[in-house]
Structure 1
């Protein structure tokens, strides 16, 4: 099997802290962050036992492409991408909300709608919608940004009432979110895709708001294939998705949904390789570019060297 990055444990000059996320290793400096996109994979809020070769590279490079393509709309945190798995950028103080934006009734929104709810995060939904129908206009359905555990739905009104974000800043976050989503939908359309929903995270650096984290990746977004969408809707058929939903479906088929007492199915070499192949396929479909596999021999040395060269 190709070597994969399960975790990194570097020590850099000037480093003041380290944070290990579900899939990323974050090296914290006074004014900068060095983010290593590992090959760890999570589903149902659980990190799976085996890493997926090239997954980190796929997500890091998709995010880099879309951050560069939206920099004219919203300033973002990125300063350099010195390695296929690494992004270095401004150290921002994150807002404690994630800006989830939806153009279609899918996923969590569809599940809530099926339960009879017509209000989602303070936004009213019209009657008569079917799962995966296009919404009249895109809606923002924020969630809290939990330090641990699950994020929770929250309304605009509650965010402002609790003072989680100031009115002035929140209005800017809304405007940025809708502009980014429109650009993302336009770019997806060019590739024969529909950007269904996604999430954005923002932070502040020296008083300015910046777009942070990854954007428009298959881990943070849901895509449908444009071809066949209308026909599938008319017939009440599921939509063909471009996301990591295939990983969740494999786990569900193996009896795992992240609940107590459930066991993760065995991740054989064949399963790991098939997931890796699917991520590469996602990259090529979303970007329209051929994926170039980075050298995975002495992969940690490669990453550490790239970071050190950039920091000095």
Structure 2
């Protein structure tokens, strides 16, 4: 087996039976099942959802993106070995922990393969729910320039880089481009306040104003659960992004759930505890990859300056990153996943063949 064979880079060309276009994002591809297949699987597998619930196969890739570009490495590595399996295992683990603690369910119904979820259709809330326990990254850069108000929250004077904040902060941003909302720019990923959401809760996809309290409660409780469990491994949960949505429960009622991914190195910053106490930040998340890129290329402004996007895209397209750098990222993802989940993460050897085989034999979903 070559190293490149273990990487699932293209994940939108699987022969999964569907009557709708395949949606492919930066990392995951979604295959909506036919109504007949959805009903059949709900019945055969006894999924706890109404029998007419639309289902999808969600396939995660090993691609790695940073600064809005997809990067590749030497030896034809079109992604990071084990990255997809690490992300899926972490998310699935935390989603299960949330459900066991009675917080809320997720959209996942089944895990046929380390790179595959079967999910129920959810209507996403149009809020990127971001929690911050330390001041770092973009918040620190803005604070250093004199900004003190973030998403309607005023920070005190005298904070220092990477310091623990006085309290856990919720700093939401928009998910997608929302129009005709007073005080909210029509652009993706723009900071918003709780008052913005309260005044326009329906436009943000909430079914009631009281669900804003529920989303904040689930966000804080989910963050605290992950933070406490990682602390037992001497890992610091610095900040993260959650996403929420609504599904129809078995009883026919709508309910708010966790969705997308949670607590992963892609959606969170995680620091090594020992290093932090010794005055040094060691990233156990994708931030380490971003920092590597900034030091690897002679002109880091290309990666940071949105006005130089064509140069940035050419940089990613025309430069194979060193194999060692790619494997360092692989080790970071697999190590933190193994610690969080409590078992060694196995890297699929021939992921595409494995996925097709199991979806054919056990789910009858291959054309």
1:34 aligns to 2:57 (yes or no): yes
Q: 1:268 to 1:131 in 2, by over 3 A?
A: closer
Q: Give the Cα–Cα distance (whole angstroms) in 2 for the partners of residues 60 and 125 of structure 1.
A: 35
How far residue 127 of structure 1 moved from its aligned partner, in angstroms, is: 1.5
Q: How does 1:91-240 map to 2 (within 5 A)?
A: 91-146=121-176, 150-163=188-201, 164=204, 165=206, 166-206=208-248, 207-232=254-279, 238-240=280-282
Q: 1:293 to 1:179 in 2, by over 3 A?
A: same
Q: Give the Cα–Cα distance (whole angstroms) in 2 for the partners of residues 311 and 143 of structure 1.
A: 40
How far residue 11 of structure 1 moved from its aligned partner, in angstroms, is: 3.9
Structure with the greater alpha carbon radius of gyration: 2
Q: Secondary structure at the match of 1:242?
A: coil
1:69-112 alpha-carbon deviations (Å, 9 max, x no partner): 11121111111111010111211010111110111112122122
Q: Secondary structure at the match of 1:70?
A: helix
Runs of 4+ in structure 1 displaced over 4 angstroms? 147-150
Q: Give the Cα–Cα distance (whole angstroms) in 2 for the partners of residues 211 and 106 of structure 1.
A: 25
Range moving further from structure 2, 70-79 or 175-184? 70-79
Q: 1:243 to 1:292 in 2, by over 3 A?
A: same
Q: Give the Cα–Cα distance (whole angstroms) in 2 for the partners of residues 38 and 275 of structure 1.
A: 15
Q: How does 1:233-312 map to 2 (within 5 A)?
A: 238-253=280-295, 254=297, 255=299, 256-257=302-303, 259-260=308-309, 261-262=311-312, 263-264=315-316, 265-294=319-348, 296-297=349-350, 299-308=351-360, 309-310=362-363
Q: Give the Cα–Cα distance (whole angstroms) in 2 for the partners of residues 282 and 27 of structure 1.
A: 29
Q: Secondary structure at the match of 1:257?
A: helix
Q: Secondary structure at the match of 2:112?
A: strand
Q: Give the Cα–Cα distance (whole angstroms) in 2 for the partners of residues 27 and 311 of structure 1.
A: 14
Q: Give the Cα–Cα distance (whole angstroms) in 2 for the partners of residues 113 and 158 of structure 1.
A: 22
Q: Does structure 1 retain, via aligned residues, the 8 Å contact 2:126–2:175? A: yes
Q: Give the Cα–Cα distance (whole angstroms) in 2 for the partners of residues 283 and 76 of structure 1.
A: 19
Q: Does structure 2 retain, via aligned residues, the 8 Å contact 1:7–1:25? A: no
- Corresponding residue for residue 10 of structure 1: 14
Q: Does structure 2 retain, via aligned residues, the 8 Å contact 1:77–1:92? A: yes
Q: Does structure 2 retain, via aligned residues, the 8 Å contact 1:191–1:288? A: no
5+ long unaligned stretches in structure 2: 36-53, 73-77, 179-186, 249-253
Q: Give the Cα–Cα distance (whole angstroms) in 1 for the partners of residues 177 and 57 of structure 2.
A: 20
Q: Give the Cα–Cα distance (whole angstroms) in 2 for the partners of residues 287 and 87 of structure 1.
A: 17
How far residue 215 of structure 1 moved from its aligned partner, in angstroms, is: 0.7
Q: Give the Cα–Cα distance (whole angstroms) in 1 for the partners of residues 91 and 213 of structure 2.
A: 24
Q: Does structure 2 retain, via aligned residues, the 8 Å contact 1:103–1:134? A: yes
Q: Secondary structure at the match of 1:227?
A: helix
1:63 aligns to 2:91 (yes or no): yes
1:76 aligns to 2:106 (yes or no): yes
Q: Give the Cα–Cα distance (whole angstroms) in 1 for the partners of residues 216 and 291 of structure 2.
A: 32
Range moving further from structure 2, 107-116 or 158-167? 158-167
How far residue 202 of structure 1 moved from its aligned partner, in angstroms, is: 0.6
Q: 1:80 to 1:278 in 2, by over 3 A?
A: same
TM-score for the superposition, normalised by structure 2: 0.77
Task: Give the root-mean-square deviation of aligned CA atoms.
Answer: 2.1
